[in-house]
Structure 1
Amino acid sequence: MPRGFESHPLRQENSSRNTSIFQGLSRTRRRVFQVVSPSPLVLLTTEGTYPFAPGGVTSWAQELLKRLRARFIVFALWGPQQIPKIPSLPRNVEKVMVVRLFSQESFPLTLARQPLLLEKLESLFGFLEGDLVAFGEGLYGLAKASGKASSLSGVFLSKEADEILRRRFTSVLGRTPVLAERLLTLGQLRGMLVNLLQIPPVADIAHTTVNGLGAIPAWLASRHYQIPLVLTEHGVYLRERYFALFALNLPPALSLFFSLFFKNLARLIYHEASLCTSVSEFNRYWQIELGAKPEKTMVIPNGIDPAKFPPAPRHLENPPTAVWVGRIDPLKDLLTLVQAFAFVHKALPHARLRLFGPVPQGNEVYAQEVRKRVEELGLGKTVTFEGPISPVYRAYHTGWATVLSSVSEGFPYVVLESLAVGRPVVGTRTGAVSEIIADSGRVVPPSNPEALGEALTELLSDPRLCLELGALGRERVIRKYTLENMVESYQKVYNTLCESGQRQRDESP
């Protein structure tokens, strides 16, 4: 978490702060919400995660949806790649709608002027000056007026749109953007929004799992139907977009344009949301830093079912073994982990590192790079690639400790699962990792192989310490991070919003 955050005044006791937030929700009069039923229909919006891609958000959604007293429409954003087969879903999921971003459909170029759409596009560009009112009017107006994706696509490709962008962006950029910059910007914006700007189905509550493009459908539903908007952030989307834009090495004009777009989109959602929940104090801190009002923020940690993670044996078998579980991905920074284990190998030549997890499509080159690094460091017999394992607790049982080397995390289930079986974790200081581990392991800076190797060497040299820290971790998970606690908290959010909507409706003239 940010340096000095341990003593930050925002770090209050969760229970007392959450109680006051629920009271504030029940009293809110900012908007007269429609009446909602005891089993509300929730529009749940996702982006590149549930119900298709494995990961923390999908695990969270799978466990939450099937246990909440609510019905769901899942509105899932997906990329241009083929849409995967929808897996088996809980009974209370009534519909899944999938919107593809950056799809390759060929829309005819519309030459006729469309004054209403152009007027709303002009408003949308208000984000360039930080005008959230105009920005919101533009998003909502385009969604209401577009009708067909081909009509909206034609507007983004029109000469009039190019002129609007040239005029509005010049003062922000400090020069007139050249034609190539304008066309690239409009093309990227079209790919993001042309299929997305539509009014979603009617619901009682809109709940977005991300504060970015995936939040737009939830925000549109909240505005159109006058229903509560709940934001749950598993990571800090805006920070991740900044990192992604930097990695793309875009022309400076495009980087500036889309940095402003995502910044003001995040501000709009933080401002309009009835409640901003996060999975950790780390994320809540950044929500407030980026514009959320503290009184509208609340931490609901993720949770697991301890019964599904039986305690690991209390006797540790040789050789000393560190376990890594996850998908092989650059964000997991396995190159740093392998480098760190080279330091471990020098101190403990008999120690082992076992890597459990799949190689997602598109990450094959990175996986080969990791294997190459293993061989270059002479660790071919020390580091093994085990592939996926099920049930996953079996992986944790094989080790003395679990390691997490990621450069970016939200609320990693791997840490919870390892602690739940009684195995300590050496993790990097990112996302909620420090909060979850606390005194149940070791936390080191990300991208620091020396520090990671030193912490691993400490634990793999001392089996008694591993068992002591693991016991503390299991007790901590059972006390604080159970699935039951998580579900009860979200059910209370929905119930409070339902009661508030009913009461405000009754009191309205």
Structure 2
Amino acid sequence: PRAIAHLVRQHGAAAVIGVQQRDRVVALKAARRCGVPGVVTLQNQHVFWGPWPLRAVKERYYRHHVRRGAALALAVSDGVAREAHERFGLSPQRIVVVPNAVGDAQPTDHAAVEQRRREFVDDAGLLLLSVGRIDPQKGFDVLLPAIAAVRGQFPALRVVIAGGTTQGPRAAAAERHARELQAQVQHLGLADTVVFAGFRSDVAELLRAADAYVQPSRWEGFPLTLLEAMQAERPVVATEGAGRPAGFVDGTHGYIVPTGDSTGLAKAITMVLQATPLQRMEMGRANGALVRANYRIDDVRRRSADALEGLVGGPSTRPAEHIAE
């Protein structure tokens, strides 16, 4: 905190912003030390790791400093805002919801999209895509029983899970979870149905190649991949843990089911895959329109800038695109 406070004074900063969970308390202490507002950006629901006594101590320490020192919290979703209020004691007046957003859709490379589709299915196949790192948070162990339940109705179904394993301090646990998922695939007889594709740099093409997208997360802030799938005009199936986009209507845009509910996922996936190609196209177009209406990156940048300007008492001297980032 002392070093950060020195930088704040040196550069005349109007506020200190803590972005990552591990950095927020340090940022708030620095802000308090030099007498400027402390801001936290909340991109996800909170998890405190370690054995139980340590987790409890970490959460209590974090809650004390956030409640005491955060003049403003920028929350990525209504669910994250609710957690900030109910779990950490921030008043609603100090919380502004600033969702994730996407830029303008890029032109589609139809040849690349067709190549990605051919990588996994033939003309008669159905391609279901999920994107996320291999981690218990992402709920792939909940998705697999759902796929086992629907596979008999859709024998040409291929499910592609794109994402690498978590790195850093939890890398060993992530690798163990990856092995558990592989064992689950074998146990459920899904070896010919489910593909773990690893990290992919061509997610945009994979989204366009898929017939539908599924986000089975146990918890999230507001996943960018869900927005990207909607922008790519795919019907989506997601859990409540992944968040409900503003304006999302079950049956019109896809389906949102209770978190951790394999049976609910199976029913929703069945409804999407049983729809005609035209019906899935209409769902996808509705998703594209919803994203364009509510999740344009320029609008979200402006919302961030307005919140910060309101806090520090006047227009910022920096462009809005830098404030949001």
Q: TM-score normalised by the shorter chain: which range applies?
A: 0.7 to 0.9
Is 1:406–1:446's contact at 8 Å kept on the other side of the alignment? yes
* Structure 1: distance between partners of 2:242 and 2:216: 12
- The reply to whether residue 282 of structure 1 matches residue 93 of structure 2 is no
Offset, 1:400: 0.9
Change (3 A) 1:436 1:287: farther
Change (3 A) 1:422 1:501: closer
Offset, 1:260: 4.7
* Structure 2: distance between partners of 1:419 and 1:378: 30
Is 1:434–1:443's contact at 8 Å kept on the other side of the alignment? no
Q: Match for 2:152 among 339, 343, 346?
A: 346
Letter paired with 1:301: P
Offset, 1:228: 1.6
Letter paired with 1:490: S
Q: Match for 2:255 among 414, 417, 442?
A: 442
Offset, 1:446: 2.0
Offset, 1:365: 2.4
- The reply to whether residue 379 of structure 1 matches residue 193 of structure 2 is no
Change (3 A) 1:484 1:434: closer
Offset, 1:426: 0.6
Q: Match for 1:204 among 5, 8, 14?
A: 14
Q: Say which SS state the counterpart of residue 418 (structure 1) adopts.
A: helix
Counterpart for residue 319 of structure 2: none
Q: Say which SS state the counterpart of residue 346 (structure 1) adopts.
A: coil
Counterpart for residue 221 of structure 1: 30
Q: Match for 2:102 among 286, 304, 328?
A: 304
Counterpart for residue 301 of structure 2: 487
* Structure 1: distance between partners of 2:133 and 2:82: 28
- The reply to whether residue 392 of structure 1 matches residue 190 of structure 2 is no
Letter paired with 1:268: H
Instruction: Name the count of aligned residue pairs.
Output: 293
Letter paired with 2:304: Y
Offset, 1:387: 2.4
Q: How does 1:155-234 map to 2 (within 5 A)?
A: 199=5, 201-202=7-8, 203-210=13-20, 212-234=21-43
Q: Could you report, residue by residue, the CA deviation over 1:477-500 in whole angstroms, capped at 9, with x for unpaired residues?
A: 111111111211222233334435
Letter paired with 1:225: C
Q: How does 1:64-463 map to 2 (within 5 A)?
A: 199=5, 201-202=7-8, 203-210=13-20, 212-237=21-46, 240-241=47-48, 244=49, 248=51, 250=52, 254-255=53-54, 258-290=55-87, 291-308=89-106, 310=108, 318-361=124-167, 362=171, 363-433=174-244, 435=246, 437-439=248-250, 440-462=253-275, 463=277
Is 1:280–1:435's contact at 8 Å kept on the other side of the alignment? no
* Structure 1: distance between partners of 2:180 and 2:17: 39
* Structure 1: distance between partners of 2:107 and 2:90: 36
Offset, 1:354: 1.2
* Structure 2: distance between partners of 1:431 and 1:219: 28
* Structure 2: distance between partners of 1:309 and 1:444: 32
Q: TM-score normalized by structure 1?
A: 0.53
Is 2:164–2:199's contact at 8 Å kept on the other side of the alignment? yes
* Structure 2: distance between partners of 1:345 and 1:501: 56
What value does the CA root-mean-square deviation take over the aligned residues?
2.7
Q: Say which SS state the counterpart of residue 455 (structure 1) adopts.
A: helix
Q: TM-score normalized by structure 2?
A: 0.81
Q: Say which SS state the counterpart of residue 347 (structure 1) adopts.
A: coil
* Structure 2: distance between partners of 1:433 and 1:221: 35
Is 1:200–1:217's contact at 8 Å kept on the other side of the alignment? no
Is 1:321–1:460's contact at 8 Å kept on the other side of the alignment? no
* Structure 2: distance between partners of 1:348 and 1:200: 62
- Percent sequence identity is 26
Is 1:343–1:454's contact at 8 Å kept on the other side of the alignment? no
Is 1:309–1:421's contact at 8 Å kept on the other side of the alignment? no
Is 1:311–1:421's contact at 8 Å kept on the other side of the alignment? no
Offset, 1:391: 3.3
Q: Could you report, residue by residue, the CA deviation over 1:203-246 in whole angstroms, capped at 9, with x for unpaired residues?
A: 33211124x54212211221122112112111232xx22xx45x
Q: Could you report, residue by residue, the CA deviation over 1:153-195 in whole angstroms, capped at 9, with x for unpaired residues?
A: xxxxxxxxxxxxxxxxxxxxxxxxxxxxxxxxxxxxxxxxxxx
Q: Say which SS state the counterpart of residue 160 (structure 2) adopts.
A: strand
Change (3 A) 1:213 1:389: closer
Shifted more, 223-232 versus 435-444: the winner is 435-444
Q: Say which SS state the counterpart of residue 359 (structure 1) adopts.
A: coil
Is 2:4–2:27's contact at 8 Å kept on the other side of the alignment? no
Offset, 1:390: 2.3
Change (3 A) 1:287 1:436: farther
Q: Say which SS state the counterpart of residue 214 (structure 1) adopts.
A: helix
Flag the structure with larger Rg: 1
Gaps of 5+ in 1: 1-142, 145-196, 503-509
* Structure 1: distance between partners of 2:247 and 2:45: 17
Offset, 1:309: 7.2
* Structure 1: distance between partners of 2:71 and 2:312: 12
Is 2:235–2:287's contact at 8 Å kept on the other side of the alignment? yes
* Structure 1: distance between partners of 2:77 and 2:108: 25
Offset, 1:386: 2.1
Letter paired with 2:143: L
* Structure 1: distance between partners of 2:131 and 2:233: 15
Q: Could you report, residue by residue, the CA deviation over 1:59-92 in whole angstroms, capped at 9, with x for unpaired residues?
A: xxxxxxxxxxxxxxxxxxxxxxxxxxxxxxxxxx
